[in-house]
Amino acid sequence: MDLDLSKLKPRKQTYWITRFIFLRGLGFVYFFAFLSAAMQVLPLLGDKGLLPINLFVERIAGDSLLQSFMNNPSLFMLTQSDTLLVGFAWVGVVLSLVVLLGHSNSIIMLILWFLYLSYVNIGQLFYGFGWEIQLCEIGFLAIFLVPLLDGRPFPKRETPLPFIWLIRWFLFRFYLGSGLIKLRGSECWQDFTCLYYHFETQPIPN
């Protein structure tokens, strides 16, 4: 039997599995990010913490509450309650577990993103690292990967291809930037000798 290969059409890329694994991984990262906040936010940013957010908000607040919120989008620009500092973190823990268990939609991902952004924008030194911004960026992209309401692990809506490419662009920038910042920051990375001692001096488990 002759097989006419010209009539065979390439299978369309749907990225169902990609989306499923990506969201579970993001839920995993969100879970520990919010759990860390729930356990540490009061001694770090609470009313009696090392860098109280009420003093920070007073310092950066302008004449208009709305303008202050637009400059630093955060729920804690509106209130600096210790109870809400911890409470919102536990809300994030619960919602991230929901995502980790396979259920997510745009509303859940939007809440997770804005909750974490709220901590980053008032976190000062404790939330001033690159990975905090990266989690906010990738969390924002995840809002558009899922349907608005359908929270099933494999919803009917196809994975939007433009956002797959945006995630790839994010990963490219992440890897390139990680390398460039090392080359810029130390001579031993420039002459390729840092790894002679890197694993002996870094706090890496045995």
Helix (H) or strand (E) holding 118: helix 106-122
> CB of 107 within 8 A of CB of 153?
no
pLDDT in tens, the chain (206 residues): 555 555 555 556 678 888 899 999 999 999 999 999 999 999 999 989 899 998 988 888 777 777 778 888 888 888 888 999 999 999 999 999 999 998 899 999 999 999 999 999 998 999 988 889 999 999 999 999 888 888 787 888 888 888 989 999 999 998 888 888 878 877 888 888 887 877 677 766 65
Q: What is the pLDDT of residue 10?
A: 57
Question: Rounded to 5, what percent of the chain is helix, strand, coil?
Answer: 70, 0, 30
Among 11, 35, 31, CA closest to 23? 31
pLDDT, tens digit, 9 for 90 and up, residues 79-90: 888 999 999 999
Whole-angstrom distance, CA of residue 202 vs CA of residue 196? 12
**pTM for the full predicted model:** 0.82
Among 107, 109, 84, 87, CA closest to 96? 109
Instruction: Map residue 133 onto helix, strand or coil.
Output: helix
Chain centre to alpha carbon of residue 128: 13
